[in-house]
Amino acid sequence: MIGILGGTFDPIHFGHIKPALELMQRLALDEIRFVPCRIPPHRSRPSASPAHRWAMLNIVIKNQPGLTADDREFKREGPSYTVDTLLDLRSELGQTEPLCLILGNDAFCSLNSWYRWERILELAHLIVVTRPGSNLPEEGPIAELLSGSALEGPQGLVHVPHGGILPCAVTPVTISSTAIRGCIEAGQSPRYMLPGAVWAYINGHRLYGT
């Protein structure tokens, strides 16, 4: 069973790493693939280049068993649509391997704005990461999707390859890439927000205004 975690990772930080490790253990995932996007469809372009973001990602995962990096979105032209990535993975891994797309509650609530969003559950399960104070939608198309596909527990992920939605609370980590970049631009150290080796890379390559 494979988890898929997308994002800009601009830069990668503890708010990405710690929840991923927690989910991998709790859900008995064999692997979590970090898939950095080249061109995010719903936000401005990343500050760091694909090459730098890829390097920082690999600095982190090389010493974390079960975490891997997948550069297929860097190799694809145009916006990095999740449905295209899942179609690629299905063609590569076959139709029987359970795939679990990991996304935050905010992203889940706006899922119906994604490109070809109706196809996503045909290709993968959804793991919706929730935190204290976050609420799942109670009306609208996403609420309807949840009511028809919600799973009672992790065991529902194992026996079918796609189609389930599992809300999953994780330990809160209130860190964002935006906050890290703002900290650096203000001349402050974000050392407590990300691994030391990533901070050393940022300094060494003068990223984000260092």
**Mean of the pLDDT values across residues 33-61?**
93
Q: What is 2-174's CATH topology?
A: Rossmann fold (3.40.50)
Per-residue exposure over 1-14, b if at least 16 CB sit within 10 Å of its own CB, e if not: bbbbbbbbbbbbbe
Over residues 57-66, the mean pLDDT reads 92
Residue 45's pLDDT band, with cuts at 50, 70 and 90, is confident
pLDDT higher than threshold 80 for residue 210? no
Tens digit of each residue's pLDDT (9 = 90 or more) over 167-181: 999 988 889 999 999
- Report CA-CA distances (Å) from 91 to 68, 84, 88, 171: 19, 11, 5, 34
Q: What angle do CA 134, 21, 108 make, to 5 degrees?
A: 30
Cβ-contact 80, 39 below 8 angstroms: yes
Confidence band of 135 (pLDDT split at 50, 70, 90): confident
The predicted structure's pLDDT at residue 111? 93
Is the pLDDT at 131 greater than 90, yes or no?
no
For the whole model, what pTM was predicted? 0.93
Domains in the chain: boundaries: 2-174
